[in-house]
């Protein structure tokens, strides 16, 4: 979809009205097989539906803001992997530390303590993991500062931050990732877009609700739940 934003902007500059359709909404209209002709026919059929939902074309500024969140998620995953690796290796030498990023300082303190009893053969490798932890942490801090700056400069984000429990990170994420507020008729529609509503499997007049659909942006849903 991010690749289509570029072409959407380029085609829009030529004076055309651009409508982007999520792939999941086009797939039901593919009759058989998969090739360029079948895909083009399905796209045309889906675009003509009166109830079809379209995705607005993101500007380059909005794409840059989204990129900050994507890179931040990548760095957090890298930090988590390094923490788990360091914790696992220290466990092999009898140093038990609780799980969680909050205990990272304890792990580093064990490696840097000369009296920890760690063998010399393992000390150099563990120092590599400690160094690998420092880089993502510093870069995540820089991205957080950039996100706070963008939150203060965005009118919608400033309004969202007046809601209890919503800070710069969530406010900026909603402002740049979620569709425009006027897209949704009510709050429940926004919850459905996020995937925070039960799935429906109803037939014959019988209402059957299942687990959460977990559709929409997983990163935004994770931020709201955390």
Q: What is the pLDDT of residues 16-63, one digit of tens each?
A: 888 888 888 888 899 888 899 999 999 999 999 998 888 888 877 778
Residues 6+ apart with CB under 8 A from 56: 20, 179, 180
Residue indicated by tokens 């870069």 = 139
Distance CA 126, CA 28 (A): 51
pLDDT of 14 higher than 70: yes
Length of the chain: 226
Instruction: Tell me the per-residue pLDDT of 74-127, one tens digit each, with 9 for 90 and over.
Output: 999 999 999 999 999 999 988 898 988 888 889 999 988 888 888 888 888 898
Radius of gyration of the chain (CA): 24
User: Which whole number is the average pLDDT over 174-180?
Assistant: 83
Q: Cα(225)–Cα(202) distance, rounded to whole angstroms?
A: 27
pLDDT at 3 (0 to 100): 63
Consecutive H or E run containing 6: helix 2-13
Task: Average the pLDDT over each of 23-32, 126-135, 139-148, 209-218 and give the range with the smallest value.
Answer: 209-218
pLDDT at 1: 53
Least confident piece of the model among 76-80, 139-143, 185-189: 185-189
Mean pLDDT of 63-78: 88
| pLDDT attached to residue 2 | 58
Mean pLDDT confidence for 143-166: 91
Q: Which pLDDT belongs to residue 116? A: 84
């Amino acid at each position: 979809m991010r690749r289509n934003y570029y072409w959407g902007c380029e085609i829009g500059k030529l004076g055309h009205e651009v409508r982007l359709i999520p792939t999941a909404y086009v797939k039901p209209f593919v009759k058989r097989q998969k090739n360029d002709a079948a895909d083009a026919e399905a796209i045309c059929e889906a675009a003509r539906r009166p109830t079809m939902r379209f995705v607005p074309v993101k500007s380059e500024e909005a794409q840059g803001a989204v990129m900050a969140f994507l890179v931040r998620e990548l760095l957090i995953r890298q930090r988590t992997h390094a923490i788990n690796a360091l914790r696992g290796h220290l466990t092999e030498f009898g140093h038990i530390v609780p799980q969680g990023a909050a205990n990272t300082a304890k792990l580093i303190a064990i490696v840097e303590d000369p009296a920890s009893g760690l063998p010399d053969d393992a000390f150099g490798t563990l120092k590599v993991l400690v160094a690998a932890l420092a880089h993502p942490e510093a870069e995540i801090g820089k991205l957080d500062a950039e996100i706070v700056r963008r939150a203060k400069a965005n009118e919608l984000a400033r309004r969202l931050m007046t809601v209890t429990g919503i800070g710069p990170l969530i406010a900026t994420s909603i402002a740049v990732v979620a569709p425009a507020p006027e897209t949704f008729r009510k709050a429940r529609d926004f919850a459905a877009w996020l995937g925070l509503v039960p799935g429906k499997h109803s037939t014959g007049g019988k209402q059957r609700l299942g687990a959460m659909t977990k559709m929409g942006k997983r990163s935004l849903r994770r931020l709201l739940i955390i």
